[in-house]
Structure 1
């Protein structure tokens, strides 16, 4: 842990005056590749998600929440509050990758740990593993049980001989292992941590599920139980897990002062590459983007727009639904704020949502969002989104056309020009290129 002297004395002062009770516990429930249209409360006609639906009923359901369009950038935004191009990983973070979060990053876990929180992680990391210093327990988490990267980093889907194993702390403790009961094992770990919680210290608990990332795995208790085949079984088991965690919070009397954030890291792998279409993986094993356009790995909304719900009973009015633009970096910035944690010394791309969440203001503080893939491919500013990947300007009015069906570029050349200039400024700032567009 990289402890700062100022933060250290801040923790001592906090403990001395006993203000920990006015800061919420934080539980992050993070699905992997769950589509915007997968939960019932986001419109799926067959998959049953009563616990996700109840979370939405008791909190704020966001319908324009965006993040990175695949695993690493979305987790980077959550853990650092920064767009991925700002973070110098110096290598890949999957199997055989030697990159990882540098010491200069001020992670969510480090910030809350230094603010006096107990910090725990269960599940997938994917932000570096080859050197132990990259692992969660050296990035601010007190404990970690889970996988270092995605569950498909094994043959035949990825040509690697690196063992895919479960870690506890900074040691691999199980290889090989059965993925079928993994959601249940993560659930048992998470509920055990909540049950052991000391009432005099707030905690951060980050649960990053392996599912429904391909290859799909589900326990025997849920196999064949849904009305939507194997994929439905997997989603319904994740929903069960969420229900168990929420139930445990309630049993411990922690619900009122716990902020729960649920989201997916990105959209479903509808356009999965040929390497994934083997050994039991089928095209229908990907989730749903609902009426949105696009897939995981793309900058149409089906890739970066995901289901997202925030519940905080003591602060957020239940049953709210908002189409305001919110981005994953905002979660980082907001959690540091509510935890009274030291701000990051780095450029942060997130905004503090506290006033918006509490209903003090009607609008989200986020006014724009930049969509990266190999380069900077799109930007949304207010109601307008410009996408340049094809070399032709694609301009969509997101309030009236969230499905990106009607290209308005020819009618709104001045908006195209303004948004394109914004993209060029950001691209220069982070060292990425923007596709030149035709006039």
Structure 2
């Protein structure tokens, strides 16, 4: 086990609730600047806790979920193959998932929603990765014809068994919400704390919502979908209050990555429209890029009486930190392999000098393409080198590499060290005056 661990020692360890959306953009919430989508329940998490405006994660589904549930950058994890439809890979037994660690620490664990970390073998599925229960889909909701040419059925799982096929995607958010509420009611007030992970399939394309929510948002169908998620969050916060466990429950909300703006042609059929997507607000890029619009997402953390209400922080925080922090809060044992997360507990609970994270590696398609150190971000792709100061230029409009060659050199060396640690190459470049 890792030494130097700082854990909360309490006779009453906190419950843990993670709410994780799919492809929701940085600018899709009222509190992050959307002018017409209304998200009072999600925004309430920031009013009663902390809003994180510089939270970063993986640039697409699998890396972001790997970081959240293992505390490690994806290249450190040997999946042995793909994890979408027809993929034969999955999380190996050598990884200690967040659910496994909390389960071993005495937590009851449950999940609803999208998995996407392996399904072909039962050992890859959530019930064999630390979750006592699971209702959901094994991967993204577009892994079905005509968007993906596969014969694999997209079905609903209960435990390790597919129990429903085909599925009505309109009802997914409602069903996941009901599952979360049931789990919380059943496991509140007992002698064990609980951990529940709700991984929404929405607003990943093709977007769906129930009839009762259609036309309710002035932002069109996409707005209806986001406001359905907001309703879901409200329902879950309400049941925490009803069960008397809200005060001692850590609630973390984030998206897995930015919106899917640069759509492949395969997705623009069967009812999908280019405007059925979110917004990155002022940020550049989108899903599957290493610009901030692909990796910086809206995030909140609430823990009454431990995290002061009404805070906003632009300190750098990343999804591996959530893994490490929740294990510390739950007095769980840490794995004896390399973790990429930091314990945020002292910072969240009042030691506000600075977040313990000072750097972040942006890995895309098994290549280290960018790295942030402090406010500076170096990005290399193709024949361009770009240096941005994310404090003064979060939209990454102004390439400052030509004016800071020494900083570029230092950051390149840091990238090489990180790439060596991860076992991946650094993206190549041939100039220092590429596009801005």
TM-score using structure 1 length: 0.95
- Whether 2:36 is the aligned partner of 1:46: answer yes
What secondary structure sits across from 2:79 in the alignment? coil
Corresponding residue for residue 204 of structure 1: 195
The Cα shift of 1:392 comes to 1.6
Matched residue SS, 2:401: coil
RMSD: 1.1
Structure 1 stretches of 4+ moved >6 Å? none
Structure 1 partner of 2:175? 185
Q: Does 1:215 align with 2:206?
A: yes
Please name the residue that 1:419 is paired with. Answer: 411
1:101 lines up with 2:91 in the alignment: yes
Match for residue 436 of structure 1?
Answer: 428
- 1:307 is matched with 298
User: Corresponding residue for 1:274?
Assistant: 265
SS of match in other structure, 1:186: helix
The alpha-carbon deviation at position 147 of structure 1 amounts to 0.4
**Match of residue 4 from structure 2:** none
User: 1:242-261, CA deviations, whole angstroms, 9 ceiling, x for partnerless residues?
Assistant: 00000000000011000000
Hey, what does 1:365 align to over in structure 2?
A: 356
Asked if 1:118 corresponds to 2:119, the answer is no
C-alpha displacement of 1:38: 0.2
Residue matched to 1:144: 134
Q: Which runs of 5+ in 1 are unaligned?
A: 5-18
Secondary structure of 1:283 counterpart: coil
Measured after TM superposition, the shift of residue 430 of structure 1 is 1.6
In the aligned structure 2, how far is the partner of 1:428 from the partner of 1:333?
A: 23
- Structure 1 residue 20: Cα displacement: 6.7
Match of residue 400 from structure 2: 408
Matches within 5 A, 1:148-167: 148-167=138-157
Instruction: Note the C-alpha offset of 1:22.
Output: 2.7
Aligned residue number for residue 133 of structure 1: 123
Q: Which residue of 2 aligns with 1:235?
A: 226
Q: Distance in 2 between matches of 1:378 and 1:198?
A: 43
The answer on 1:263 being equivalent to 2:254 is yes
Residues 1:20 and 1:147: Cα distance change in structure 2 (over 3 Å): farther
Cα distance in structure 2, aligned partners of 1:56 and 1:153: 34
The answer to whether the 8 A contact 1:21-1:202 is kept is no
Query: Shift in Å at residue 361 of structure 1?
Result: 2.9
Aligned to 1:399: 391
Question: Is there any run of 5+ residues in structure 2 with no aligned partner, and where?
Answer: 2-8, 432-436
| 1:284 alignment partner in structure 2 | 275
Give the TM-score of the pair, scaled to structure 2. Answer: 0.95
Give the Cα separation in 1 of the matches to 2:100 and 2:111.
12
Q: Distance in 1 between matches of 2:353 and 2:273?
A: 43
Q: State the shift of 1:56 in Å.
A: 1.0
CA distance in 1: counterparts of 2:384 and 2:65, whole angstroms: 30
For residue 437 of structure 1, report the CA deviation from its aligned partner. Answer: 2.3
| Alignment correspondent of 1:344 | 335
The 5-angstrom pairing of residues 31-70 of structure 1 reads 31-70=21-60
Contact 2:113/2:136 (8 A) holds in 1: yes
Does 1:226 pair with 2:228? Answer: no
Q: Partners of 2:392 and 2:121 in 1: how far apart?
A: 48
Preserved contact between residue 170 and residue 209 of structure 2 (Cα < 8 Å) = yes
Q: Would the aligned equivalents of 1:106 and 1:345 in 2 still touch at CA under 8 Å?
A: no
